[in-house]
Amino acid sequence: MQVAMIGAGYVGLVSGACFSDFGHRVTCVDTDAAKIEALRLGRIPIFEPGLEDLVATNLAAERLFFTTDLAGALEEADAVFIAVGTPSRRGDGHADLSYVYQAARDIARASRRYTVVVTKSTVPVGTGDEVERIIRELRPDAEFAVVSNPEFLREGAAITDFKRPDRIVVGTEDERAKQVMTDLYRPLYLNQAPLLFTSRRTAELTKYAANAFLATKIAFINEIADLCEKVGGNVQDVARGIGLDNRIGSKFLHAGPGYGGSCFPKDTLALIKTAQDHGAPTRIVETVVAVNDHRKRAMARKVIQALGGSARGRTIGILGLTFKPNTDDMRDAPSISIITALQDAGAVVRAHDPEGVEQARLVLDNVTYVDSPYEAASGADALVIVTEWDAFRALDLKRIRGLMGQPVVVDLRNIYRPEEMDGLGFVYSSVGRELSQG
Ligand SMILES: NC(=O)c1ccc[n+]([C@@H]2O[C@H](COP(=O)([O-])OP(=O)(O)OC[C@H]3O[C@@H](n4cnc5c(N)ncnc54)[C@H](O)[C@@H]3O)[C@@H](O)[C@H]2O)c1
């Protein structure tokens, strides 16, 4: 089949490369000419494990193409996916749909034959109706159907998630479009991934409900972690104790510095706005957002407390900047709020991240970036683990201890054991576990 993918970002590029790997002929279209030029040469603008090889293989096999010319890409396309960004609109938290609507107008102008227009971007309920209206208004003669097919992949594991999804949600009641979507996803369908057909509005809402639910799990376990610290419990054991219950499940129950990233913060806000607009407020999600916002600054206070109450003039080493491991994505990363709060308190910040420094430079000021965890620790008054990259899981702790000005470690991802750190002479604190006595 022939596919056009509008937007060659984290979602569009991965989806396009995976569809081409299934044997479809895919053309990725982006308005960013420099990005398209780089991709044509096999250079990947983002860090995502496995993506470079996948793109190279399918470029070489002439199943994957990159262009800025949508009209050309649409000539033979059975389906055109919209995978452009839907960031929070400045000021009010609604999803900014300007890129989606622009893509709809571009499709309307370029459309030449029956095409299924598939919204893969995360969009509020009713956006599909508006996309349909825009195309119909500009091109009353066009033959098309608008389908919602939200994407559930996670950065860092995006290819596996796309190729082995828990489910594929397709929102349409149009029989011809259903057939096209079934054919497109057939390689996955054979692997038993359930293809779930719903109405378009239901599919749109399902994506927000999924993200809001996961964000709720994180906020919940973080509050339990705070309680553990007060009463002397261990949040990892509580998480295991509840997670083994199948009704609850063990995923997304890792206490930490609060959720961030390109999806949860903006999607929870957008859901709240949609729900308020329709007079059906989602109060649980409203609270989750408030709890999470508060948490990031609270983590900076935790570091200051570990330093004895003041960070002024102290050097703090930060390990991990991206919102999670195995990505270079810095969008809404907890590290941003934590570092800013520490700088506000007078600290000097030195940071190391295996992949995120280039993006971090764009959003953080006055940070010294170093090439290794050991350089970050060197002479530092405190070392803070913010993102749990594998490279931080087996550090030479004796060496770290020797390098630091003061042996204070704040482990916001609970990757080390308190007894072990105490034994090595660190003043160690973590999240929701017995606090070290030093
Ligand atoms: N990143 C994730 O992990 C993830 C997961 C699931 C869903 N989503 C959703 O997928 C959508 C895309 O997210 P992303 O992270 O890939 O965004 P992104 O910012 O990485 O990529 C968007 C791309 O679209 C391009 N673009 C914008 N307008 C265009 C137009 N009119 N024509 C052609 N190209 C255009 C931009 O240049 C950019 O390259 C969002 O709605 C997001 O919520 C993201």
Report the amino acid identity of residue 338. I
What residue has token string 């011809």? Answer: 176
Average pLDDT for residues 300-315, to the nearest whole number? 98
Residue 436 has pLDDT above 70, yes or no: no
Say what the pTM is: 0.96
Residue 329 has pLDDT above 70, yes or no: yes
| Helix, coil or strand: residue 128 | helix
- 8 A C-beta contact, residue 350 and residue 370: yes
The residue whose CB lies within 8 Å of the most ligand 1 atoms, and thus the one to mutate among 10, 94, 332, is: 10
- 8 A C-beta contact, residue 172 and residue 144: no
- 8 A C-beta contact, residue 249 and residue 243: yes
Residue 13 has pLDDT above 70, yes or no: yes
Cα 93 to middle of ligand 1, angstroms: 17
How far lies 237's CA from each of 148, 254, 292, 421, 422, in Å?
40, 11, 22, 19, 20
Average pLDDT for residues 179-206, to the nearest whole number? 91
The one-character DSSP state at 411 is: E
- 263 catalytically annotated: yes
Q: Any bridge partners for residue 196, and if so which?
A: 169
116 contact partners, CB below 8 Å, separation of at least 6: 78, 79, 80, 144, 145, 147, 176, 177, 180, 181
Average pLDDT for residues 394-405, to the nearest whole number? 98
One-letter-per-residue 3-state SS of 89-109? CCCCCCECCHHHHHHHHHHHH
- The closest-lying atom of ligand 1 relative to the alpha carbon of residue 267 is 43
Residues near ligand 1 (Cβ within 6 A) = 6-12, 29-32, 35, 83-86, 99, 102-103, 106, 121-122, 151, 153, 155, 262-263
Residue 438 has pLDDT above 50, yes or no: no
Of 305, 315, 312, 322, residue with least CA distance to 386:
322
The one-character DSSP state at 390 is: G
Please give the Cα distance from 6 to 13 (Å, whole number).
9
pLDDT score recorded for residue 435: 54
Q: Any bridge partners for residue 65, and if so which?
A: 27
Q: Any bridge partners for residue 382, and if so which?
A: 316
Average pLDDT, the chain: 96
- 8 A C-beta contact, residue 416 and residue 422: no
Residue 437 has pLDDT above 90, yes or no: no
On the CB side of 109, how many CA atoms lie within 13 Å of its CA?
Answer: 9
Cα 318 to middle of ligand 1, angstroms: 29
pLDDT, tens only, 108-152: 999 989 999 999 999 999 999 999 999 999 999 999 999 999 999
Average pLDDT for residues 341-351, to the nearest whole number? 98
Residue 192: pLDDT band with limits 50, 70, 90: confident
Portion of the chain with pLDDT greater than 70, in percent: 99
